[in-house]
Chains A and B, each alone.
Chain A
Amino acid sequence: MPETDTTLGGARRLPWRTAEVRDVIDETPRVRSLYLSVPGWPSHRSGQHLDVRLTAEDGYQAQRSYSIASAPEAPQLALTVEVIDDGELSPYLAREVRAGDRFEVRGPIGGYFVWTAALGGPLFLIAGGSGIAPLMAMLRHRAAVASHVPALLIYSSRTFADIIYRQELDQLAAASGGPRVVHTLTRQQPPGWTGAARRIDRDMLAEAGIAARAQPRVFVCGPTSLVEETTQSLLALGHDANLIKTERFGPTGALK
């Protein structure tokens, strides 16, 4: 029987660390950012995630993965959590948690859906809903290190009120050398809205996106349907599959 070599590479176990909630920011009616202080946190790269473990008074535990929304350079670790109605952890994290509360985190995890300024660009980010979180870590990192890599975010939200980080995105976009930010609102638009008002489609990617010939590094994060449709459109527009990295979340609905 072959030996199951679980020590190849000599990796040390990622420990659970205690996180203390320092601040809580309501981003939208359904989304909240938690700012955490985590003693011993080994830093991360933008795009990575971590596991959160909650322990109830009787010892019951539950854990889930969340993207890290803060830049590695930021003093606190930020998570941005959307309430999933029948979820187990998200209603607690996005509704109940307040400053001073403590729980455990383990990470950083994942080394593929990652961008650092040293990788260069152009940087082409496509987000749906709370899929913005790991992409925001990239934009925050880009700003923190004053990177001049050209960057574009195409961000699909249901309504104006559902846009996460709206003010910060406005500020980033207005800054000298800031990213271009293109919003689309799929369900409802405020009076006077001049932006896009439909799901991200091939035409939108062709008109507003970074052209395939510029060989952008593309990161797509959002619900499965958005990721599937968007990546197929990008391939049709000539983007290199090896430069497209994806994170999907949410159910797929009925299996075909």
Chain B
Amino acid sequence: MQDPPIARGFRGRRPPAANDRIPPGQHLTSDFPVLSAGPTPTPRLESWSLALQHGGALLGKWTWREFEGLPQTRVKVDIHCVTTWSKLDTNWQGVTVDTLLQAAGLSEPPQPYLMVHSDGAYTTNLPVEDLLKGKAMIATHYEGKPLSPEHGGPARLLIPHLYFWKSAKWVRRLRFMPHNEPGFWESLGYHLYGDPWREQRYAGD
């Protein structure tokens, strides 16, 4: 492997100190950039629902009121976007996937993979393992306020240990799968798993 070429005169803006919370190739931002492939959907809460699906069977379905009534969890986490920004100490509130499975009466997940379906036909695939033991939630609040539509409100997935495209906005349906299948970006050249610490940005990384 050849050494990379030196960009003449480039100094960059180094972080003030080595920060072991920033994965390779990432930089800190204080903004919260918006990245979406299409128009922002604005579903009415009266007709909103969240469904949990296994094959053709419905394992659980919650209206907005029912969903809001589930036990709430608050987390403070770092998030990492594949476009190279990272944001530290973000505060979220929502319903963990563990709580959701419990509410559906499931003692364990029926299949090892999950496809997350959103308004606007967006999908993303995940190993169920990555969603359990408090590692993921359906978030409805960011920094103490209801999640705004452009950031995925009323409810988005939050799975901070993977690149943020996995934290699908506008979540409506979680579908168990026997095998791993690529979702929207995963079909378009992005990595199937997306671990920021292993810099799994694109297919083959």
B44 at the interface (CB under 8 A from A): no
Partner of B150, one of A64, A92, A104, A252: A252
Chain B residue nearest to A234 (CB atoms) is B39
Q: Chain B's nearest CB lies how many Å from the CB of A15?
A: 9
Report B-chain residues with C-beta under 8 Å of the C-beta of A213: none
- A54 and B113 CA atoms in complex are apart in Å by 37
Partner of B38, one of A6, A96, A245: A245
Q: Would you call A8 and B192 a contact (CB within 8 A)? A: yes
Q: Which listed segment binds A: B3-11, B45-53, B96-104?
A: B3-11
Report A-chain residues with C-beta under 8 Å of the C-beta of B143: 255
Given contacts A109-B189, A245-B37, A252-B31, contact A53 B4 (CB under 8 A): yes
Report B-chain residues with C-beta under 8 Å of the C-beta of A102: 5-7
- A224 and B42 CA atoms in complex are apart in Å by 16
Number of residues on chain B facing chain A (CB within 8 A): 57
Q: Which listed segment binds A: B55-63, B65-73, B120-128?
A: B120-128
Q: Chain A's nearest CB lies how many Å from the CB of B121?
A: 7
B112 at the interface (CB under 8 A from A): yes
Q: Chain A's nearest CB lies how many Å from the CB of B93?
A: 14
Given contacts A6-B191, A255-B143, contact A250 B33 (CB under 8 A): yes
Report B-chain residues with C-beta under 8 Å of the C-beta of A241: 38-39, 41, 120
- A172 and B172 CA atoms in complex are apart in Å by 44
Q: Would you call A63 and B84 a contact (CB within 8 A)? A: yes
Report A-chain residues with C-beta under 8 Å of the C-beta of B128: 2
Partner of A13, one of B7, B187, B204: B204
Q: Which listed segment binds B: A22-30, A110-118, A124-132, A194-202?
A: A110-118
A interface: dominant SS: mixed
Q: Would you call B40 and A232 a contact (CB within 8 A)? A: yes
A204 at the interface (CB under 8 A from B): no
Q: How many A-B residue pairs have CB under 8 A?
A: 151
Report A-chain residues with C-beta under 8 Å of the C-beta of B7: 54-56, 92, 97, 101-103
Q: Would you call A252 and B8 a contact (CB within 8 A)? A: no
Q: Would you call A18 and B33 a contact (CB within 8 A)? A: no
Chain B residue nearest to A65 (CB atoms) is B83
Given contacts A6-B191, A103-B7, A228-B40, contact A60 B33 (CB under 8 A): no
Partner of A112, one of B12, B37, B151, B193: B37
Q: Would you call A60 and B189 a contact (CB within 8 A)? A: no
With most chain A CB atoms within 10 A of its CB, the pick from B180, B187, B200 is B180
Q: Would you call B113 and A2 a contact (CB within 8 A)? A: yes
Partner of B4, one of A9, A16, A231, A244: A16
B23 at the interface (CB under 8 A from A): no
Q: Chain B's nearest CB lies how many Å from the CB of A41?
A: 15
Q: Would you call B182 and A8 a contact (CB within 8 A)? A: yes
Report A-chain residues with C-beta under 8 Å of the C-beta of B40: 228, 231-232
- A242 and B188 CA atoms in complex are apart in Å by 16
Chain B 1-23 per-residue mask, 1 if CB under 8 angstroms from chain A, else 0: 00011111111111000000000
- A241 and B188 CA atoms in complex are apart in Å by 19
Apart from the given pairs A51-B84, A55-B5, 11 other A-B contacts in the complex at a CB distance below 8 Å: A2-B129, A8-B180, A11-B203, A56-B10, A61-B12, A110-B189, A112-B188, A224-B150, A231-B40, A244-B39, A252-B33
The 7 tightest CB contacts between A and B, nearest first, are A11-B203, A251-B31, A2-B112, A13-B204, A231-B39, A111-B188, A102-B5
